[in-house]
Amino acid sequence: MKILHVTPLYYPAVGGVESVFKAVSEGMAQRGEDVTVFTTTGRSLNAFMNPAVRPLVAGEEIISGVRVRRFPYRRVLRLAARVFSRGWSALHLLKGEDFIAWSALPWVPGLSSEIAAYKPDVVLAGHFPTRIVYEASEARKAAGFPLVYFTALHLGHGADMPGSSLELLKGADAAWVSTSYEKAALQKSGIAENKIWDLGVGIHPDDFKKGD
């Protein structure tokens, strides 16, 4: 099976979502699956907003049996669009959330076309509210592959699901959530229960052997 994972950041970037994608990608590769990761040259989320952060090298490499392809991102124009979109939304004008979804970071020119051209058997993409999930959705429209989202939603107490995120989730084949709270929020927002995979994220016990 030709598996494609699409995520804003990947190792050596450090973070919760980054750790999940690394563990899942390497675990599948160890089981003999053909796994490729499409990601950006970003070193951290801050890199998408801070020009002082030097990007990683674009191109392809193999990391622990996983093919990793890094695409360069763009910064300035999308930041301007993001400021505009938030102002538009604050004024309660029509479709403000659509502008927010459009201008979310990171912006990788041509990413949706690259995803579709790869012709994957299945795609796991994350996380919300990054633009990566939007690009995966656009690629799915062109190529028709099964699409699963790793949501990583950061929901405040009683917070409603953003409309732009909700539409993308409804259009996917499944949503992988990390907690029962997240699952309940998706169900409340109208996502069918059979499309919500409450898998958690797990741990590697060896990572804690030297802990205090």
Predicted confidence (pLDDT) per residue in 110-162, tens digit: 999 999 999 999 999 999 888 899 999 999 999 999 999 999 987 775 556 66
DSSP state, 45?
Answer: G
Q: Pick the more confident residue, 39 or 210.
A: 39
Q: What is the pLDDT of residues 11-32, one digit of tens each?
A: 999 999 999 999 999 999 999 9
Beta carbons of 48 and 105 less than 8 angstroms apart: yes
Name the residue among 171, 175, 120 with its Cα closest to residue 145: 120
91-120: average pLDDT: 71
Query: pLDDT at position 198, please?
Result: 95
Q: Is 66 exposed, middle or buried (0-12, 13-18, 19+ CB in 10 A)?
A: buried
CA 84 from centre of chain:
23
Name the residue among 114, 153, 164 with its Cα closest to residue 6: 114
Task: Give residue 94's pLDDT band: very low, low, confident or very high (50, 70, 90).
Answer: very low
Q: What is the pLDDT of residues 64-84, one digit of tens each?
A: 999 999 999 987 544 555 554
Tokens of 69: 């392809």
175-183: average pLDDT: 93
- Which parts of 26-168 are beta strand (E)? 34-40, 59-63, 66-71, 122-125, 147-150
Q: Pick the more confident residue, 100 or 163.
A: 163
Residue 99 pLDDT greater than 70, yes or no: no
